């Protein structure tokens, strides 16, 4: 069955369907950050090695990011609702397995399975919106709400984890997934319709394996090199991943039914929007990680206090996601993307006045100003990706957008955060590689603790300046490379079969 978009006002079924799909979206993004505060409890109960602890945190994001493209296209060709139902079921079972894992090995395996299931949910839920909302304006509003839920999940994950850990054991952070998944499985079949391409073609197994293994290998190699320095095994894994991705790209250009449609990148608006999905998530994850350490280890705030201070920025981010489609409809994508990048740059630089003795107000101002840009990024990227293609290709286009988000989130801490860690090792007292390890040393004197905190704050400042300059540069690129008006945008698009027109209706 193939549905075509028709410009009509969505009825109650569309809005109820949106409400139902928001549950899995919120869970998938929350589970990327909800373990940040639970790891001390996990470490105490399961006693993982240092490498196992990193894999407990990272394997979920690796699995989601590396499989989004594959599952986006599989859903397009074999049915999104079918994939959603299967993925939600596996996500629920894997969540239960994670909650009751008796050792680190099984927790890593369960988290990996959660990531695989999460990769089935994100592109399909985004694509379902193109069937529920035929009118482009209403679809833009729905995608803005979708983006707000996805962004809010990242932001409130640590807060939810902190609240649960006040009363329950660490496995409770996974059990909260089960009632949401149960409600989705009950109501989704009644509210959502199956949509697939008319002639799906065959899935190319090599493309699926190459895209997943290539992304996983490159991300693993980059994260290992940034965090621990260059060593033989991670370097070989990263190089192998890069080779697989090169072969994947080459193959997509020569097969009849490519897994990823690279002709979408001929449109400059689409290309800049996808970059906008990558870089802001890298900045967000690195800034959230570094500022979380700053609030707790430098200023001495309790875990829950630090988490609650993130709520103003999360509120701004979420609200911006919702209103961005309305703003884009009025002023266009180009000015909106300019606001996105320059507000993130300004927000990051507001962390520069933070010191070892105070900076809570600067932190709140920073997350609030940058939250405007982060919200625009989530909303514009998703709307651009889905609006650029016919309804039957929305899953694979949405997967490109979500992949840029996930890869940006995975690389942010590794690359930008590792810059701060490097400066800490160079400027700190040299007693331990991180601030927390230094502060936990027995017999640490007050002057040494002060030096360690000062070194961390200096490293944080350099990291946010680097991220801020990258966003300022991307803002200048947007100013120079994107056309000013819809007519110029049409003229800039290639006059070929693969070209797309991203002009929003007036």
Write down the domain spans for the chain: 12-193, 204-258, 263-487
Look at residue 39 and give its three-state secondary structure: helix
| pLDDT for the residue 484 | 64
Which two structure tokens, joined as six digits, stand for 16?
Answer: 């109820």
Per-residue pLDDT at 247: 92
Contact 29, 317 (CB under 8 A): no
pLDDT at 152: 74
Q: Residue 213 half-sphere exposure, CB side, CA atoms within 13 Å?
A: 14
Question: CA-CA distances (angstroms) from residue 323 to 104, 141, 366, 376?
Answer: 42, 8, 20, 9
- CB atoms inside a 10 Å sphere around CB 263: 18
CA distances, 175 to each of 34, 170, 506 (Å): 12, 10, 45
Please say whether the dihedral angle defined by the alpha carbons of residues 133, 142, 401 and 488, taken in this order, is positive or negative: positive
Place of tokens 């320095």: 229
Contacts of 322 (CB under 8 A, 6+ apart): 141, 144, 145, 148, 379
Give residue 396's pLDDT: 59
Place of tokens 């705030």: 301
Q: What CATH fold (topology level) applies to the domain 263-487?
A: Growth Hormone; Chain: A; (1.20.1250)
Residue 7 has a pLDDT of: 47
* pLDDT attached to residue 389: 58
CA atoms within 13 A on the CB side of 404: 22
Q: Which long-range contacts (CB under 8 A, 24 or more apart) does 490-494 make?
A: 492/268, 493/266, 493/267, 494/266
Give the tokens for residue 103.
Answer: 């050792």
End-to-end Cα spacing for the chain: 31
In a structure prediction context, what are the per-residue pLDDT tens digits for the chain, which is 506 residues long?
444 444 455 677 788 888 888 888 888 888 877 776 676 678 778 877 756 776 787 788 778 877 777 777 777 677 778 888 888 999 999 999 999 998 989 999 999 999 889 888 877 776 677 677 767 677 767 777 777 777 777 767 777 777 777 778 888 889 989 999 999 999 888 887 765 554 455 777 888 788 778 877 887 777 676 556 678 888 899 899 999 989 988 888 888 777 777 777 777 767 777 787 788 878 887 888 788 888 888 898 877 787 788 888 888 888 887 788 788 878 887 888 888 899 999 999 999 999 999 899 999 999 999 999 988 887 777 666 666 555 555 555 666 776 677 677 666 766 777 778 778 878 878 787 778 778 878 888 888 889 989 999 999 999 999 999 988 988 888 777 766 654 334 433 443 344 333 333 33
How far apart are alpha carbons 399 and 397 in whole angstroms? 5
- Closest to 26 measured CA to CA, from 141, 128, 190, 177: 177
pLDDT score of 331? 82
Nearest-CA neighbor of 411 among 226, 264, 208?
226
Q: 409 Cβ partners below 8 Å, 6+ apart?
A: 32, 61, 65, 154, 281, 282, 284, 285
Per-residue tokens: 244: 């697989």
424, 428, 432, 438: CA torsion to nearest 10: -100
445-465 in b/e form (b: 16+ CB < 10 A) is eeebbebbbbbbbbbbbbbbb
Tell the burial category of 484 from Cβ atoms under 10 Å away from its Cβ (0-12, 13-18, 19+).
exposed
CATH number of 12-193: 1.20.1250.20
Per-residue pLDDT, 27: 86
Asked whether the beta carbons of 330 and 386 are under 8 A apart, the reply is no
């Amino acid at each position: 069955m193939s549905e075509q978009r028709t410009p009509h006002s969505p009825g109650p079924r569309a809005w109820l369907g949106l409400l139902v799909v928001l549950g899995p979206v919120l869970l998938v993004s929350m589970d990327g950050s909800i373990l940040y505060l639970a790891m001390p409890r996990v470490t105490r109960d399961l006693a993982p090695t240092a490498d196992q602890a990193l894999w407990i945190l990272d394997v979920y994001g690796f699995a989601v990011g590396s499989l989004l493209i594959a599952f986006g296209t599989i859903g397009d060709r074999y049915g999104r609702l079918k994939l959603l139902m299967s993925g939600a079921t596996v996500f629920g079972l894997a969540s239960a397995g994670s909650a009751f894992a008796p050792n680190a090995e099984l927790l890593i395996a369960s988290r990996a399975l959660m990531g695989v299931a999460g990769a089935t949910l994100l592109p399909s839920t985004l694509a379902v919106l193109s069937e529920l909302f035929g009118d482009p304006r209403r679809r833009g509003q729905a995608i803005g709400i979708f983006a707000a839920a996805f962004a809010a999940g990242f932001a409130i994950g640590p807060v939810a984890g902190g609240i649960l850990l006040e009363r329950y054991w660490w496995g409770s952070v996974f059990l909260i997934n089960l009632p949401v998944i149960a409600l989705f499985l009950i109501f989704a079949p009644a509210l959502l319709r199956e949509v697939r391409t008319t002639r799906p073609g065959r899935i190319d197994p090599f493309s699926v394996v190459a895209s997943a293994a290539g992304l996983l290998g490159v991300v693993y190699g980059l994260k290992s090199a940034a965090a621990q320095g260059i060593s033989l095994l991670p370097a070989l894994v990263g190089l192998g991943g890069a080779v697989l991705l090169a072969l994947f790209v080459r193959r997509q250009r020569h097969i009849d039914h490519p897994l990823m449609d690279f002709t979408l990148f001929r449109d400059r608006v689409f290309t800049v929007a996808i970059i906008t999905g990558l870089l802001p998530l890298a900045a967000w994850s690195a800034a959230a990680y570094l500022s979380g350490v700053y609030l707790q280890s430098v200023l001495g705030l309790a875990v829950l206090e630090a988490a609650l201070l993130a709520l103003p920025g999360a509120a701004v981010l979420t609200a911006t996601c919702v209103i961005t489609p309305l703003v884009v409809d009025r002023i266009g994508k180009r000015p909106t993307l300019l606001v996105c990048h320059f507000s993130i740059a300004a927000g990051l630089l507001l962390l520069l006045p933070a010191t070892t003795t105070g900076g809570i107000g600067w932190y709140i101002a920073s997350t609030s100003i940058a939250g405007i840009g982060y919200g625009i990024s989530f909303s514009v990227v998703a709307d651009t990706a889905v609006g650029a293609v016919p309804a039957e290709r929305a899953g694979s286009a949405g997967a490109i957008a979500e992949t840029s988000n996930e890869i940006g989130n995975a690389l942010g801490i590794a690359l930008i955060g590792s810059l701060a860690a490097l400066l800490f090792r160079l400027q700190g007292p040299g007693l331990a590689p991180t601030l927390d390890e230094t502060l936990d040393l027995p017999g640490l004197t007050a002057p040494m603790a002060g030096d360690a905190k000062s070194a961390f704050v200096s490293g944080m400042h350099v990291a946010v300046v680097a991220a801020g300059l990258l966003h300022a540069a991307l803002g200048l690129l947007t100013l120079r490379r994107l056309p000013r008006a819809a007519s110029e945008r049409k003229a800039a698009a290639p006059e070929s079969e693969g070209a797309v027109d991203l002009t929003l209706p007036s």
